[in-house]
């Protein structure tokens, strides 16, 4: 165990010594050459069980499954409910798998590219299977390649339009973290790319599986994207001190803490406005409002407010304490709507 801890420490030291923030191209090329051709010099050669566990952890599936599936289903429901000639079918399963895999890819490539940074901080290093020695960088990249191919295959099954949206999401997910571009490192591009690949495009992929003319449904897509912008800015506020000390220039740091909070809540207000307009235009059935109202107290029982946000950390402000409850209420509402549509199709109601 001591020997293994020493090897893990050496790996973290390797990352820290060879990461050059001033020359991302040189750092990226060095890391790629090292992991592809000279892995035997520093690979920990973990057991198969450890590598499998590391690969599963690399996907961080527990973090994104609760929003990927509901957003995809919501997009599909908005398509079939607003078109009498359309029905849900097996393609919904294909696009759910595609969206799940593309978001998993986003998290995987992010942890691989962030390994040099995570190695410098013990808490973050323990959450990254690369830096804690469960898998090598080369294994991580190979896993990303496999996931990318499976992603495109799943979207292809869902149809050409869904494949186009999925491919855009996949490219965006890569560019978001890839050190030669690293959209997450720049103000504005960080929140725009993050909100699209982890929210708006997921709903659009679900919709485009069945229809390619969203019309007024674009209001819903804009709303969920704005909510995601709020979430990303909230995360940046939570990590504000650490990111600023690291010399990052994300949106929150460029704006400052107080202006970032104004933008956060402005996004929420705009999202609510978009949803209200969509409701007025009959995008959603009115009875769904009653389901949402009932879901709110149920969500409080399932996800009690303990002063923590969705990631389980202490809330940055009051809104963080309600994130999990709101997501639970929305997910319950989507689940009831989905069940009703399926029952209506089966029994021709």
Q: Is the pLDDT of residue 9 over 80?
A: no
Q: Considering its fold, how many domains does the chain have in total?
A: 1
At residue 308, what are phi and psi to the nearest 5 degrees? -125, 155
User: What are the DSSP calls for 268-300, one per residue?
Assistant: HHHHHHHHHHHHHTTSS-THHHHHHHHHHHHHH
Domain that holds residue 316: 285-342
In order of 6, 202, 265, 272, the CA distances from 269 in angstroms are: 51, 22, 6, 5
Say if 326 falls within a structural domain: yes
**Position 292 confidence tier, pLDDT thresholds 50, 70, 90:** very high
| Residue 307 covered by a domain | yes
pLDDT in tens, 298-324: 998 888 767 788 877 888 888 888 899
pTM of the model: 0.86
Question: In this structure, is residue 302 part of a structural domain?
Answer: yes
Residue 149 has pLDDT above 70, yes or no: yes
Residue 206 is assigned to a structural domain of this protein? no
**10 band by pLDDT with thresholds 50, 70 and 90:** low
> Does residue 320 lie in a domain region?
yes
Tens-place pLDDT, residues 219-248: 999 999 999 999 999 999 988 887 787 777
Question: Is residue 42 pLDDT above 80, yes or no?
Answer: no
Task: Give a yes or no: residue 229 inside a domain.
Answer: no
Residue 228 resides in a domain: no
In a domain, 153, yes or no: no
Taking a C-beta distance cutoff of 8 angstroms, is the pair 198, 64 a contact? yes
pLDDT in tens, 67-96: 999 999 999 999 999 988 899 999 999 999
Give the residue, 19 or 237, on which the prediction is more confident: 237
């Amino acid at each position: 165990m001591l020997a293994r801890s020493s090897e893990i420490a050496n790996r973290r030291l390797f990352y820290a010594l060879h990461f050059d923030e001033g020359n991302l191209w040189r750092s990226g090329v060095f890391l790629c050459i090292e992991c592809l051709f000279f892995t035997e010099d520093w690979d920990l050669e973990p057991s198969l069980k450890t590598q499998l566990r590391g690969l599963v952890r690399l996907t961080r599936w527990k973090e994104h499954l609760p929003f990927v599936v509901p957003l995809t289903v919501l997009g599909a429901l908005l398509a079939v409910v607003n078109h009498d000639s359309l029905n849900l079918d097996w393609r919904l399963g294909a696009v759910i798998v595609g969206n799940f895999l593309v978001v998993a890819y986003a998290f995987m490539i992010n942890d691989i590219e962030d390994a040099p940074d995570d190695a410098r901080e013990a808490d973050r290093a323990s959450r990254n299977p690369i830096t804690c020695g469960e898998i090598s960088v080369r294994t991580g990249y190979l896993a990303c390649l496999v996931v990318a191919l499976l992603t495109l295959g799943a979207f292809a099954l869902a149809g050409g339009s869904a494949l186009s949206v999925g491919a855009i999401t996949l490219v965006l997910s890569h560019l978001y973290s890839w050190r030669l571009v690293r959209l997450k490192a720049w103000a504005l591009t960080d929140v725009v790319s993050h909100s699209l690949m982890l929210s708006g495009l997921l709903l659009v992929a679900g919709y485009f599986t069945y229809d390619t003319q969203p019309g007024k449904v674009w209001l819903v897509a804009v709303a969920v994207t704005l909510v995601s912008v709020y979430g990303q800015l909230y995360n940046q506020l939570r990590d504000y001190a650490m990111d600023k000390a690291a010399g990052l220039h994300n949106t929150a740091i460029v704006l400052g803490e107080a202006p970032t909070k104004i933008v956060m809540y402005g996004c929420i207000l705009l999202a609510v406005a978009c949803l209200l307009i969509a409701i007025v235009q009959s995008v959603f059935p009115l009875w769904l409002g009653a389901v949402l109202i009932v879901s709110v107290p149920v969500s409080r029982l399932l996800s009690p407010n303990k002063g923590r946000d969705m990631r389980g950390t202490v809330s940055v402000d009051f809104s963080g304490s309600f994130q999990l409850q709101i997501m639970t209420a929305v997910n319950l509402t989507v689940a009831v709507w989905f069940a009703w549509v399926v029952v209506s199709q089966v029994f021709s109601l």
